[in-house]
Amino acid sequence: MTLRLSKVVKMSNFNCPNCGAPISGDRCEYCGTQFIDCTTLRPDKAFYLKYSPDGKKTIVAKVILESARHEIEHGDIDWGRDIDGRMMRIFSSPEHFITVKYRVVN
C-alpha cells in the first residue's frame, strides 16, 4: 500500500490540520477528516486490516507489518522573475510518499 500525501503536517495538540477543530478518535469532530494512526504498528505484532478496494466489498485480513518507508521526491527547479523583474529560481513543492508493506498471515 502506498499513500501519496499532498503535504505533511505536524499534529500539534491533537487538532485537525485541515480545520483546527479537536480530533475525536480517528475523525475530526468538525470536518470529518479521517486520520490513520500508524504509530502503534509493530513488525512483531499482527493486526487486522480492513479495507474496501472497490467500494463495494470489504476485506478483513490479519497482517504483519514488514516495512514502512517515507520518501520525499523534490520537484523540478524552474526559472522565473520576481516582482522587480530579477531572475530567480522557483522550486515546486516536494511530494511525500509513505510506503507500507505488510504480509497476510493465517
Residue of 89, 42, 35, 47 lying closest to 67 (CA atoms): 42
Contact 14, 23 (CB under 8 A): yes
Contact 71, 77 (CB under 8 A): no
pLDDT reported for residue 13: 54
pLDDT digits (tens, 9 = 90+) for 41-99: 788 888 888 888 787 888 888 888 888 888 888 777 788 888 898 998 887 777 778 88
The separation between CA 36 and the C-alpha centre of its own chain, rounded to angstroms, equals: 8
Question: How many domains does the chain contain in total?
Answer: 1
pLDDT reported for residue 70: 81
pLDDT-derived band at 8 (thresholds 50, 70, 90) equals: low
Domain that holds residue 96: 2-104
pLDDT digits (tens, 9 = 90+) for 18-31: 888 887 777 788 88
Length of the chain: 106
